[in-house]
Structure 1
């Protein structure tokens, strides 16, 4: 991409009012259904054209990807691409909880009075996010970390530790954009959008949860544990008792494009001290320590 085009793109994306208008004040669910259909069209030519347009607005880099044997035949193939082996080494520390995905760090810190931070000055009740106060209870005095995937990132996510998925609850909702501009303007945005509460336990019974949140154009979530793609119009059931084990770093599933994963940790599991809002982090990097680890820092800068 030329420097001139990159500057034009950056000016466009930094116009907050225009960005919010174009990505939110549209028929969000209809646009999301259309993108779901479009991304599955089997056409290598259309895929090449679509990727070229995509690159006008993002820094899409496919150099780390392991292309499918027949090449990219649809946008979905690009969205859900795998990486070449060894591209995401895991933190070697035995007690490290690792990032489940490539992401940009959003809000993080302690859950206070049942509330987590969405953006500065905007918080939400985690009971509403989970859809049930009982499911949120293990994290009321714990910590949380919001991980935002951009559309250009690797979209698969992995187990942050050795764990067992106990239950998955699919919660219907809207498809607001989840970029920082929308997070500053739409109250309780994460609680409004389609999402899935993935409740897990570590081998010693310690609870840990991941809550993938959908967004406009990306409201489908695939979980290997269910062998099922959860879409906004999924007819049910919406609660699944699973009992599926994953080793740390093992692939758990993928988004059909990019969105957000919120990680919840119970009391006693500390986030690493050097996390910063806006920091880029890769799958496999440590985000917390299970024992004798790092002190928790508040992400409200």
Structure 2
């Protein structure tokens, strides 16, 4: 752990202190309340202030150009046709706009959140029958910056019969925190969503992880928002049916999705750490899902 700390710049250490050494839960609850205030004038000011910290914020692609609340801006929809979907049935597409973080082969059941910071799949996904599927499989960490499009979509044709919600902390999930907080993803609020197909030997699971100012996930196929005020049940039965690219839900601000795949998938050519990827672009290739 000491090696990771030593490599941080003074700016990164200041970023870490400002975003993590504060009452994370209360700030997140406050942000949830503030972002829902219906005031066009306050919203315009808030977006301007936000743009000072997020220089890559681009709203011209949004379906709406005027917002009545900050939350409406965070969860904005895009104009039609801006995210073409790679339709080849063997391709798994990115479920969201993101920066690719750690990715690669799972070493037995060991995954890395950052160099030198491993965690076991069972610490992130408690269900043994599910996490065991990904032994020696593949994983990729997809980080949604606050300025990005916040909605996430089905990476394959699939169905969802259950969502597991795991309550936890709200650590910032930016690269600075990942270098300093061991097993951070395993500490934070998160949901586990297995994507079911009719293929007998392949499996893909999404783990959306909440963070400070976020801690709120809305799935279009569930009646309730999963956030700090949610009190259960933790295993939520559902009946979601999705075509590749169809919207599944959204974060309220920005966060991370970790995608797990069985060993019969391979990363597409050109995938590398630190690159930007858009929802719908090819991420993995593997067996045909044969999903109707």
Find 1:117's aligned residue among 108, 112, 118. 112
Between 1:268-277 and 1:139-148, the stretch displaced more is 268-277
Q: Is the 8 A contact 1:127 1:135 kept in 2?
A: no
Give me the TM-score of the superposition, normalised by structure 1.
0.89
3-state SS, counterpart of residue 45 of structure 2: helix
**Structure 1 moving runs of 4+ over 6 Å:** none
Aligned counterpart, 2:172: 177
* Partner deviation per Cα, 1:227-253 (whole Å, 9 max, x = no partner): 321002311111112232110000000
**Alpha carbons of structure 1 residues 14 and 265: separation in structure 2 relative to 1, 3 Å:** farther
Output the CA distance in 2 between the equivalents of 1:263 and 1:170: 16
Output the CA distance in 1 between the equivalents of 2:78 and 2:53: 22
Equivalenced residue count is 278
Find 1:45's aligned residue among 37, 41, 45. 41
Find 2:262's aligned residue among 263, 266, 283. 266
User: Which stretches in structure 1 are left out of the alignment for 5+ residues?
Assistant: 1-12, 293-301
| Alpha-carbon distance, 1:14 to partner | 7.2
Output the CA distance in 1 between the equivalents of 2:195 and 2:88: 21
* Partner deviation per Cα, 1:244-289 (whole Å, 9 max, x = no partner): 2110000000000100000010120111232111000000000011
User: Which stretches in structure 2 are left out of the alignment for 5+ residues?
Assistant: 1-8
Output the CA distance in 2 between the equivalents of 1:115 and 1:78: 37
Aligned counterpart, 1:251: 247
3-state SS, counterpart of residue 133 of structure 2: helix
3-state SS, counterpart of residue 65 of structure 1: coil
1:63 aligned onto 2:60: yes
Q: Is the 8 A contact 1:162 1:203 kept in 2?
A: no
Q: CA RMSD in A?
A: 1.4
3-state SS, counterpart of residue 92 of structure 2: strand
Output the CA distance in 2 between the equivalents of 1:143 and 1:76: 34
Q: Is the 8 A contact 1:167 1:200 kept in 2?
A: no
1:156 aligned onto 2:151: yes
1:80 aligned onto 2:70: no
